[in-house]
A and B are shown apart, each in its own frame.
Chain A
């Protein structure tokens, strides 16, 4: 039976933390990071029923978590975090999602908004021409005949080196990736898609730094007031979607063998140590590596567009700040226990001094990027020590959807939204008016409130605020 939820189940245990005590089949409590306004929005959809279902997973470690941007998903809520104890706690492909290693990459250009001036529109247009949505086999890397298995094994390093790889979570490559664990169908879906954006909420956004909250961290990350940046949001495209499809089916069929019964078929899982669990983790790592290569391909295309529009010196001076995943499962250690942290719409946020972050950032913490919603701000955060004690090293991943796509379309048409954004100086390139309307800013929660909550909860702190100059959508 799926869990039910009532607001009376929620007990406030901190300034920005709420708890749901275990009941029914829940093995551990559930915690939600939110203020009064966000908790009311969160309680208004099925996120917390879904979080309670996640708390029934075998081997789950207390507590399961919802970030302030959480919203109803399918199986796991989007913005959910669950750690399972290794070796025999479960891995659930639905806890990672179909878009394995969907994530965000930030590039910093060596010029300011003022320097860019009237070339803004030309740059956005050129980026839209350089980065295909991926409806067909449009990838420049496909045409060049790149070895897909090399990408699946080595991730970013298959097509890049130097700073871009060093400034990527896990150096753009999860260990244990096995191309043989990825089906031929998944490979066929992904083969032409390296360097493609996808559709839905994926985008490339041209921005500028409008406010700096932490000058030391901003300087360390290489960003300054007025500076132009590019934020890339995409994932593992059809390859990752097919890997999840394949393993949800396989684990659904295997659960009876492991005597696992769950309230939602989409939570299908198997012990991480089982043959099914090991195969999924090898395929997931391969798909995560594909996603990092995909964002690398997009970043390379953006640099090419910058070179054509602003000159090769600007392209050569465009530096990758960092790249973070927000749909992935990773082996990490907390409180002396080795756990598998499922982050579904949630971002790793390691604090200063953590071994896994680039040497340059050791003193300030891992960069985290929180996209807003086209017309609103995005944030650069840095991981804080509280993440290690309160949230399995995790923070939020975005503003979080508030309205359905249908409701967004009913409130505004794509052409009207384009006019509104352009009236505010935001250049828009999107082939689908319907798709544009579905991503209208009012369809999302207030990103300012979301980042304030994670800061108050001690999970991450604000470093800089970025505002949009132009957006390219698939």
Chain B
């Protein structure tokens, strides 16, 4: 399992590789937390997210949109996730915390977006506007 922030001159480009698509989703959630949480502590909290999209890659954009909204409006960031993933629907129960956030990430984009199985592993690539 790897998480890599790839070179992009203006934005943050995330590349995650994992053995299952659910693990990819959990790592994407954790990666966003590393970008926006300014404080390692916080009050424990749990949130449930359900999103739909036209395809699996679009689910990542919708998921990140929900997470950005929760971070900005509640200060919630996810640390762990139980993920139920189908082709066009994603449900996740997030364990996390209410903390101080850096309002760095504006949105998740569709540019160069991918979420696919290659060479026996699942890969996701997504560009975040920062």
Q: Which residues of A contact B (CB under 8 A)?
A: 45, 71-75, 78, 94, 97-99, 133-136, 185, 188-189, 198-200, 237-238, 241-242, 244-245, 248, 252-253, 264-266, 268, 401-407, 431-432, 435, 474
Contact = CB atoms under 8 A, between A and B. Distances in A.
B130 A238 contact: no
Contacts of B10: 71-73, 78, 401
Nearest to A76: B111
Contacts of A199: 102-104, 130
Given A72-B8, A136-B75, A200 B107 contact: no
Interface residues of B, number: 30
Contacts of A75: 109-111
A189 B69 contact: yes
B130 A45 contact: no
Interface in B104-129: 104, 106-107, 109-113, 127, 129
B65 to A, nearest CB: 6
B54 to A, nearest CB: 8
Interface of B is mostly: loop
Given A98-B106, A135-B102, A266-B110, A401 B9 contact: yes
B109 A74 contact: yes
Contacts of B73: 188-189, 238
Contact of B111 (A74, A99, A135, A431): A74
B111 A264 contact: yes
B109 A266 contact: yes
B110 A248 contact: yes
B110 A474 contact: no
A71 B11 CA distance: 10
B72 interface: yes
Contacts of A238: 72-73, 103, 106
21 contacts: A73-B11, A73-B111, A74-B127, A74-B129, A97-B129, A135-B100, A135-B103, A188-B69, A199-B103, A199-B104, A238-B103, A241-B107, A244-B107, A252-B110, A264-B110, A265-B110, A265-B113, A404-B8, A404-B9, A431-B38, A432-B38
Contacts of A198: 103
A54 to B, nearest CB: 12
A178 to B, nearest CB: 22
Given A200-B130, A404-B8, A404-B9, 14 more contacts: A45-B9, A74-B111, A98-B106, A99-B129, A133-B103, A185-B69, A199-B104, A238-B106, A265-B110, A401-B9, A404-B7, A405-B12, A405-B130, A432-B38
A153 to B, nearest CB: 23
A136 B107 CA distance: 17
